[in-house]
Amino acid sequence: GQNIDQPTEMTATEGAIVQINCTYQTSGFNGLFWYQQHAGEAPTFLSYNVLDGLEEKGRFSSFLSRSKGYSYLLLKELQMKDSASYLCAVKLTGGGNKLTFGTGTQLKVEL
Amino acid sequence: ETGVTQSPTHLIKTRGQQVTLRCSSQSGHNTVSWYQQALGQGPQFIFQYYREEENGRGNFPPRFSGLQFPNYSSELNVNALELDDSALYLCASSLGIGSGEKLFFGSGTQLSVL
């Protein structure tokens, strides 16, 4: 079976940096996505990694290590509006663009 | 550019009834995927339609069925509703089925089965 693990909840302070980890054990791998989802809203695309290394996009960065089955999402200069659920999702080999999601990490940003 | 739109936004049904959810894909997108998201969980893949044909199905029973129309909009039908079908149903569209294609999600339909 496919297994994607991420912490259920995290709390951080406004202006700080937070790292959300995701580990996966899947039969085949063809890329990893991070999505942000505010309560009652659509998931929105944050990042895509298919090769090892760091992808940086403004305040958000995502890292992938395929040999370790590990990714993280790094959020810098946290803002209150960053309070949301962060979903890690894997594309499997031969699965087209079907995504297998983790349960999501609920991030709460406090003053 | 029009985003992914879903209707209705909220729906209440009783056990045993049937429901149809609708999705209009983003302009230029020919692929629609449906996901079920239970409270506190990540979305679970139901099925995908590519150019009006089913192109992959998740672990959902046959009472979950769908359609894609020539304009690439889509419907999700659920028969014989069960209490556990209560969830947020998300539609996502993409430019194609390539592995690097991003999914663009709609805001979902919140279904409550009583």
Task: Verify whether the Cβ–Cβ distance B107 to A43 is below 8 Å.
Answer: no
What is the number of CB-based contacts under 8 A between chain A and chain B?
A: 70
* pLDDT tens track for B72-91: 999 999 999 999 999 999 99
Q: Which chain B residues touch A43 with a CB distance below 8 Å?
A: 43, 90, 105
d(CA B81, CA B72): 26
- Looking at residue A27, its pLDDT comes to 83
Q: Is B90's Cβ below 8 Å from some Cβ in A?
A: yes
Q: Is A7's Cβ below 8 Å from some Cβ in B?
A: no
Pairing of strands A3-5, A53-57: unpaired
d(CA A80, CA A7): 20
Contact B70, B52 (CB under 8 A): yes
Task: Verify whether the Cβ–Cβ distance B105 to A99 is below 8 Å.
Answer: no
Task: Verify whether the Cβ–Cβ distance A97 to B43 is below 8 Å.
Answer: no
- The DSSP secondary structure of A45-91, one letter per residue, reads EEEEE-SSEEEEETTEEEEEETTTTEEEEEE-S--GGG-EEEEEEEE
Contact B87, B38 (CB under 8 A): yes
- Looking at residue B96, its pLDDT comes to 82
- Looking at residue B99, its pLDDT comes to 66
Question: Which residues, numbered 12 to 41 in chain A, qualify as contacts with chain B under a Cβ-Cβ cut-off of 8 Å?
Answer: 30-31, 33, 35, 40-41
* pLDDT tens track for B23-63: 999 988 999 999 999 998 999 999 999 999 998 899 999 99
Q: Is the pLDDT of residue B67 over 70?
A: yes
Secondary structure (3-state) at B53: strand
Rounded to 5°, angle at Cα A15 from A6 and A63: 40
Q: Is B66's Cβ below 8 Å from some Cβ in A?
A: no
Nearest residue of A to residue B95 by CA position?
A97
- Looking at residue B10, its pLDDT comes to 96
d(CA A21, CA B68): 36
Q: Is the pLDDT of residue B97 over 90?
A: no
Q: Is the pLDDT of residue B65 over 80?
A: yes
In a 10 Å sphere around its CB, with 0-12 CB exposed, 13-18 middle and 19+ buried, how is residue B34 labelled? buried
Nearest to A7 by CA among A81, A49, A18: A18
For chain A, list residues with pLDDT below 50.
none
CA A4 centroid distance within chain: 11
